[in-house]
């Protein structure tokens, strides 16, 4: 079965600074990768997904992620964050009708 | 186009009681997955329903059961509630899972 490890439980950053949220996965088969964002008291919203093709994937709200098969990583990046990006971010791996999530990274953007 | 609808939004139950949570999937979606999200943790997969059958199941006891109806809506039932069952329960729907899941806002269950 596949699994996901999010390497940082909390990431504080100042407004307009760049940010990277790290995600590593393990799977013995090809998988599809996702990043979701969760705002307080809400469900999860899809940010972006990697299915195939270009390893650099662009999503909503200026986020992008790079798939690295040799390092089994799918790190999320944003060149300049805003206060409104403060939320919980989840990396997920999907294979054969099974979507598994990491423990999450709490991104806090400070003024 | 309505997204995923879950009801109720909040619920308080006593230990030992039973609870039923409901989910209406996004229009056009035929698969429903349920997740439990404890405070400060990631969603944990409970089970998935497709064509009114349980297709996949996570590591949850038999106290957790579900159902899917012909209109694709779904219920999650939890019997003999424990304090540890307190969590946000998320429903997600999909048509083809690789395209991503659409989540509802969840049901906050508190067991006292």
Question: A38 Cβ partners below 8 Å, 6+ apart?
Answer: A44, A45, A87, A88, A89, A90, A104
User: At residue B1, does pLDDT exceed 60?
Assistant: no
Q: Is A43–B50 a contact, with Cβ atoms under 8 angstroms apart?
A: no
DSSP per residue, A31-46: -EEEEEEE-TTS-EEE
Mean of the per-residue pLDDT values for chain A?
93
Q: What average pLDDT does range B73-90 have in this prediction?
A: 97
Number of domains into which chain B is organized:
1
In the numeric block, which tokens belong to residue A105?
A: 């990274």
Checking B36-40 for CB contacts under 8 A at 24+ apart, the result is B36/B60, B36/B85, B36/B87, B36/B88, B36/B89, B36/B90, B37/B87, B37/B88, B37/B89, B37/B90, B37/B106, B38/B86, B38/B87, B38/B88, B39/B87, B39/B88, B40/A104
Could you give the domains of chain A?
3-110 (2.60.40.10)
Residues of A with CB under 8 A from a CB of B: 6, 32, 34, 36, 41-46, 49, 51, 90, 94, 97-104
Q: Report the CATH number that the domain containing residue B71 is assigned in CATH.
A: 2.60.40.10
For residue B50, is it left (φ>0), alpha (ψ between -120 and 50) or beta? beta
Q: What is the pLDDT of residue A46?
A: 94
Q: What tens digit of pLDDT does each residue of A44-53 get?
A: 999 999 998 8
CB B86 within 8 A of CB B22: no
- Give contacts of A49 with chain B, Cβ < 8 Å: 98-100
Q: What tens digit of pLDDT does each residue of B11-60 get?
A: 999 999 999 999 999 999 999 999 999 998 999 999 999 999 999 999 99
CB B61 within 8 A of CB B79: no
Instruction: Tell me how close the Cα of A18 comes to any Cα of chain B, in angstroms.
Output: 24
- Give contacts of B104 with chain A, Cβ < 8 Å: 43
- Give contacts of B98 with chain A, Cβ < 8 Å: 32, 49, 51, 94
Of all residues in chain B, what percent carry a pLDDT higher than 70? 98
Q: B84 lies in which domain range?
A: 5-111
Closest residue, chain B, to A98 (C-alpha): B56
Q: What is the pLDDT of residue B2?
A: 66
In the numeric block, which tokens belong to residue A99?
A: 């979507």
């Amino acid at each position: 079965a596949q699994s996901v490890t999010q390497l940082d439980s909390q990431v504080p950053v100042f407004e307009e600074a760049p940010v990277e949220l790290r995600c590593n996965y393990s799977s013995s088969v090809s998988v599809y990768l996702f990043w979701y964002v969760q705002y307080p008291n809400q469900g999860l919203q899809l940010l972006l997904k990697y299915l195939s093709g270009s390893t650099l994937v662009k999503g909503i709200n200026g986020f992008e992620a790079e798939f690295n098969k040799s390092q089994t990583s799918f790190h999320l990046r944003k060149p300049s964050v805003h206060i409104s990006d403060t939320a919980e971010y989840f990396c997920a791996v999907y294979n054969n009708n099974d979507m598994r999530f990491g423990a999450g990274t709490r991104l806090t953007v400070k003024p | 186009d309505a997204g995923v609808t879950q009801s109720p939004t909040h619920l308080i139950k006593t230990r030992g009681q039973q609870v039923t949570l409901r989910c209406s999937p996004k229009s056009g979606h035929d698969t429903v997955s349920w997740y439990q999200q404890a405070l400060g943790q990631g969603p944990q997969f409970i089970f998935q329903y497709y064509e009114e059958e349980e297709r996949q199941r996570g590591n949850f006891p038999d106290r957790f059961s579900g159902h899917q109806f012909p209109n694709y809506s779904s219920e999650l039932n939890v019997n003999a509630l424990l304090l540890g069952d307190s969590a946000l329960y998320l429903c997600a729907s999909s048509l083809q899972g690789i395209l991503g899941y659409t989540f509802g806002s969840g049901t906050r269950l508190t067991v006292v």
